[in-house]
Amino acid sequence: MQLIASRYERRKTRQIHVGPVAVGGDAPISVQSMTITKTADVEGTLQQIYALAAAGADIVRCTCNREEAAEGLAQIVPRSPVPIVADIHNNHNMALAALDAGVQCLRLNPGNITDPSKIKLVATEAKGRGVPIRIGVNAGSLDDSLYKKHGGATPEAMVESAERELAYFDDVGFEDVKISVKASNVPLMVEAYRQLSEATDHPLHLGVTEAGPLPGGLVKATAGMGTLLMEGIGDTIRYSLTADPVEEARAGRMLLEALGLRERKGVDLIACPSCGRAEVDVIKVANDALAAFGEREIPLQIAVMGCVVNGPGEARDADLGIAAGRRKGHLFIKGRNVAVVPEDEMVETLVRYAERMMEVGADQVLAESDTARAEKAAAEDRAALLEVQGADANDASTKIDLIRKRVEGA
Ligand code: SF4
């Protein structure tokens, strides 16, 4: 597939390092998620961190809300496959404890810890250890004075909150910073990040906070982060979903893959929406195919199409696809028919051909296939279906006749 570049260039930001993961500058945009276990539960938290990393998370955040959590972090950090960010609430001592535990980044909410001397102390300690800090502004927990000054949680108020925190960090010579200005309201969040990216060159962490359960949460977060990423804004992202956090990591990876901002590891399964022409339950076959490919590293675009009349043509750009027709599956590679299989073997055939293509390449698989025979079979089924269904598969003309008769007869 040819990738179409965004009309916006990625904004230039400075680069920081969260453990071994570079964030900002020309580093790939990274995916983050957050554990929902008690951080003191070391084994449970590590299990979740491994699951998040497997689903595509490059960095994982854990809450550090009490002493036991900090002690848990001391055991989690050395065993984690990805760098750990400690999420700090109101107690700056927890930030210091998390630094003692060896975390690779802190997240401070300027609305929660407001005492400049405490903020500066944490920044000084972080600086001494080379640990970066995310300034995590949240529209829902803005400092009261800013709320009053701006008449609410406006983009300007959120940016000013970040700038105020940055000024405290500046006072102690601490620059190792990334910033987020999250809101659950998508237009507010988008505008806040746009203004922030004009105001600073620190790397930005994108997120729509408290986006909610699926599918609404996914839509809101994708709308907000997708808009900004296409404008070149954002260096690291997190979906905040009311769901298994593995969904957050997976969604983050899939968003970056969909925008061409991250190299694809797994299949890109496309499927027609089905219609009156469908010769098979497209939803079932597509879901079965998705499950069959699972997390396999097969970075091909694979199409599941409901009928052989239009399927192979509509999905001709896919690397591999299958279209249903008269209880058979017509397999095609880059629009060329290569095999015909019984309908109940469609999914396993797709997987087999995809694996073969990964092994020897599409041209070799085409060369190995009896394309003439497959094309003939597809042409026959296409003609037979056109004969039965005609050009109007949804039978709209019959319905229109019926409606007209009813209206005329009324
Ligand atoms: S015409 Fe065929 S390929 Fe297109 S949506 Fe309908 S069933 Fe799917």
Q: Which atom of ligand 1 is nearest to the CA of 275?
A: 6
Instruction: Quote the CA–CA distance of 257 and 266 in Å, as a whole number.
Output: 10
- Which of 270, 285, 309 to mutate for ligand 1's pocket (most ligand atoms within 8 Å of CB)? 309
Residue 388, pLDDT score:
80
* Domain's final residue, options 258, 292, 325: 258
Indicate which CATH number applies to the domain containing 305: 3.30.413.10
Residue 27, pLDDT score:
97
Between CA 386 and CA 393, with CA 392 as vertex, the angle to 5 degrees is: 70
C-alpha of residue 304 to centroid of ligand 1, in Å:
10
Burial call 364-395: b when 16+ CB within 10 Å, e when fewer: ebeeebebeebbebbeebbeebeeebeeebee
What is the number of domains present in the chain?
Answer: 2
C-alpha of residue 392 to centroid of ligand 1, in Å:
12
- 408 domain residue, yes or no: no
Indicate which CATH number applies to the domain containing 238: 3.20.20.20
* Domain's final residue, options 224, 258, 292: 258
C-alpha of residue 377 to centroid of ligand 1, in Å:
18
- Which of 274, 280, 330 to mutate for ligand 1's pocket (most ligand atoms within 8 Å of CB)? 274
- 322 domain residue, yes or no: yes
Over residues 156-166, the pLDDT tens digits come to 999 999 999 99
What residues flank ligand 1, with Cβ below 6 Å? 272-275, 277-278, 305-307, 309-311, 314
C-alpha of residue 356 to centroid of ligand 1, in Å:
27
Between CA 395 and CA 398, with CA 397 as vertex, the angle to 5 degrees is: 70
- Based on the fold, state whether residues 109 and 223 are members of the same structural domain: yes
C-alpha of residue 305 to centroid of ligand 1, in Å:
6
Its pTM stands at 0.88
Report which protein residue has its CA nearest ligand 1's atom 2. 307
- 48 domain residue, yes or no: yes
Spatial strand order in the sheet of 30-34: 177-182, 133-138, 105-108, 84-87, 59-63, 30-34, 236-238, 205-206
Q: Residue 102: what are its φ and ψ, rounded to 5°? A: 95, 20
Q: What's the token pair of residue 365?
A: 């698989």
- Based on the fold, state whether residues 79 and 225 are members of the same structural domain: yes
C-alpha of residue 314 to centroid of ligand 1, in Å:
8
- Based on the fold, state whether residues 226 and 273 are members of the same structural domain: no
- Based on the fold, state whether residues 202 and 55 are members of the same structural domain: yes
Is the bond leading into 215 cis (omega within 30 degrees of zero)?
yes
- Based on the fold, state whether residues 221 and 298 are members of the same structural domain: no
Q: Please report, in angstroms and rounded to a whole number, the separation of the first and last CA atoms in the chain.
A: 54
C-alpha of residue 208 to centroid of ligand 1, in Å:
35
- 234 domain residue, yes or no: yes
- Based on the fold, state whether residues 244 and 340 are members of the same structural domain: no
Domain that holds residue 165: 16-258
- Are the beta carbons of 63 and 48 closer than 8 angstroms? no
- Which of 272, 326, 381 to mutate for ligand 1's pocket (most ligand atoms within 8 Å of CB)? 272
Residue 6, pLDDT score:
61
Report which protein residue has its CA nearest ligand 1's atom 6. 275
- Are the beta carbons of 306 and 280 closer than 8 angstroms? yes
Q: Which residues contact 291 (CB under 8 A, 6 or more apart)?
A: none
- 404 domain residue, yes or no: no
Q: Which atom of ligand 1 is nearest to the CA of 308?
A: 2
- 405 domain residue, yes or no: no
- Are the beta carbons of 183 and 189 closer than 8 angstroms? yes
- Based on the fold, state whether residues 304 and 254 are members of the same structural domain: no
* Domain's final residue, options 258, 289, 324: 258
- 344 domain residue, yes or no: yes
C-alpha of residue 312 to centroid of ligand 1, in Å:
10
Q: Residue 109: what are its φ and ψ, rounded to 5°? A: -100, 115
Please report, in tens digits, the pLDDT of each residue of the chain (410 residues total).
445 556 678 999 999 999 999 999 999 999 999 999 999 999 999 999 999 999 999 999 999 999 999 999 999 999 999 999 999 999 999 999 999 999 999 999 999 999 999 999 999 999 999 999 999 999 999 999 999 999 999 999 999 999 999 999 999 999 999 999 999 999 999 999 999 999 999 999 999 999 889 999 999 999 999 999 999 999 999 999 999 999 999 999 999 999 999 988 889 999 999 998 888 999 999 999 999 998 899 999 999 999 998 888 889 999 999 999 888 999 999 989 999 999 999 999 999 999 999 999 999 999 999 999 999 999 999 898 888 877 666 666 677 778 888 887 76
- Based on the fold, state whether residues 66 and 105 are members of the same structural domain: yes
Over residues 21-69, the pLDDT tens digits come to 999 999 999 999 999 999 999 999 999 999 999 999 999 999 999 999 9
Residue 167, pLDDT score:
98
- 397 domain residue, yes or no: no
SS3 content of the chain, % helix, strand, coil (to 5): 50, 20, 35
- Which of 281, 314, 322 to mutate for ligand 1's pocket (most ligand atoms within 8 Å of CB)? 314
- Based on the fold, state whether residues 176 and 323 are members of the same structural domain: no
Report which protein residue has its CA nearest ligand 1's atom 5. 274
Residue 380, pLDDT score:
93
- Based on the fold, state whether residues 225 and 89 are members of the same structural domain: yes
- Based on the fold, state whether residues 253 and 313 are members of the same structural domain: no
- Based on the fold, state whether residues 202 and 163 are members of the same structural domain: yes
